[in-house]
Chain A
Amino acid sequence: MNPPALRALLADSLTLWGVAGRVEIADDSIKIIAGEKVLHVTQAAPAEAPMRWWLISETRRRPAASMLGLLRSLRYALNATSAEPARARVAAPS
């Protein structure tokens, strides 16, 4: 995923979660600044497979195996989770 596309997706995600912040393309990462928090998203190296992404804060590095996992980690890191996280529920087959 190229940096502009990743930046756009993450910026949209912040908007969706109601987080005031900005997303920038940095030298080797995508930088997310929201209030006091500064986070970086980088692509994992091929040798780190099955991990695809790293979410890096001042205190820790969290791996994610998919974009789904990355978004979930980012949302938690930004304290932007809703009171009752919705999970996809599939109705019984008819």
Chain B
Amino acid sequence: MIPVSVITGFLGSGKTTLLRSVLRDPAYAGSAVIVNEWGDIGLDHELLETSEENLLGLANGCLCCATRGDLARTLIDLAARRRSGAVTYHRVLIETSGLADPAPILHTLLMDPSIAEDHRVEAVVTVVDALLGAETIARHPEAKQQAMLADRLLLSKTDLAPDTSALEGRLAALNPVAPILRAVQGVIPPDMLFASAARPETLQHWLEAIATPGARHSAGVETISILREEPLPAVVLPLFLEALAEHAGEKLLRMKGIIRVAEAPEKPAVLHGVRHVLHPIQWLEDWPSADRRSRLVLIGQGIPQWWPARLLEALEEEARA
């Protein structure tokens, strides 16, 4: 399976600078790169030092809307060329346009069977300008959406903004499960950015973010956490996810969870979802820490604070009856 990571961030946040830095790392130099630019004339791809055949530009439209079909076709075509030996790469990096909503892009990557056959989504990295990020998020819903859907948030241009505490607080309120990383002079070890969000070693941050159940609010965005001491009957999981998608799918931005299932309590189930689209449940061989409670984080807008927990309790009670 070819890992695919998405680099997003508002206009001018430093996505291309980051990508250039990543591609200088020998482990990432052979990546296939798809650059989506807004406008008739693409420039960003001219700034990237990588082989011609591994670099594709998707100009004149935004990946999340106008050129989603192009993205699918590009990935499928690339994979076919890779199979035939015409190109060599071991991962795909997608740089979105500055105005892109990552959710439809993830939807395409996850739901198109022709893509999912060869690819797995690894991480969404959102680049945030340390100097202008707070104002940008306040003024542009696209920037807010990009921050909320990130697996990792990367502060760029930190040399221009010595104190980023207010911005970091704002980002943590919008997305408490994404670690906030800092590039030093535009450089950061790529493995810190693109390690799969579902790997046990990368679970710890968002597990820490849900140490206490309840909800946090930030300008219309709620982070709802659920903690369960008792293992959940397996049958509850699909019912809960179905209800969540059906009734809160439009309002649910992101969901992550680690669940202790009664039928296999030693092997936690990891849940990931974007809106009503769920990654396949991943079963870990062991718990990432001594804490073996089920923990679930929902990031959404307009979801009543206790609705998910009440629903879960109702379904669990039915399953145990």
Contacts and interface: CB of A to CB of B under 8 A. Distances in A.
Interface stretch (A20-28, A32-40, A54-62, A81-89): A81-89
Contacts of A66: 239, 315, 318
Nearest to B116: A92
B110 interface: yes
Interface centre among A9, A82, A89, A91 (most CB of B within 10 A): A91
A12 interface: yes
A89 B111 contact: yes
A51 to B, nearest CB: 12
A15 B1 CA distance: 42
B41 to A, nearest CB: 35
Given A86-B275, A91-B279, A94-B1, A67 B311 contact: yes
Interface residues of B, number: 39
Contact of A86 (B238, B249, B311): B249
A41 to B, nearest CB: 12
A92 B281 CA distance: 10
Given A16-B251, A67-B315, A5 B246 contact: no
Contacts of A8: 306, 310
B180 interface: no
A90 interface: yes
A73 to B, nearest CB: 12
B247 A91 contact: no
For chain A, give the interface size range.
Answer: 20 to 34
Contact of B303 (A16, A72, A91): A16
B106 to A, nearest CB: 9
A91 B110 contact: yes
Contacts of A87: 242, 245-246, 249, 276
Given A52-B318, A67-B314, A88 B244 contact: yes
Given A88-B245, A89-B278, A91-B110, 20 more contacts: A1-B317, A9-B314, A16-B251, A16-B302, A16-B304, A17-B247, A67-B311, A67-B315, A68-B239, A71-B246, A85-B246, A86-B249, A86-B275, A88-B238, A88-B246, A88-B278, A89-B276, A91-B279, A92-B111, A94-B120
27 contacts: A5-B314, A6-B314, A9-B310, A9-B311, A12-B306, A66-B315, A66-B318, A67-B314, A67-B315, A71-B246, A71-B311, A82-B250, A86-B245, A86-B249, A87-B276, A88-B242, A88-B245, A88-B278, A89-B245, A90-B278, A90-B280, A91-B110, A91-B116, A91-B278, A91-B279, A92-B110, A92-B111
Interface of B: 1, 110-111, 113, 116-117, 119-120, 238-239, 241-251, 275-280, 302-304, 306-307, 310-311, 313-315, 317-318
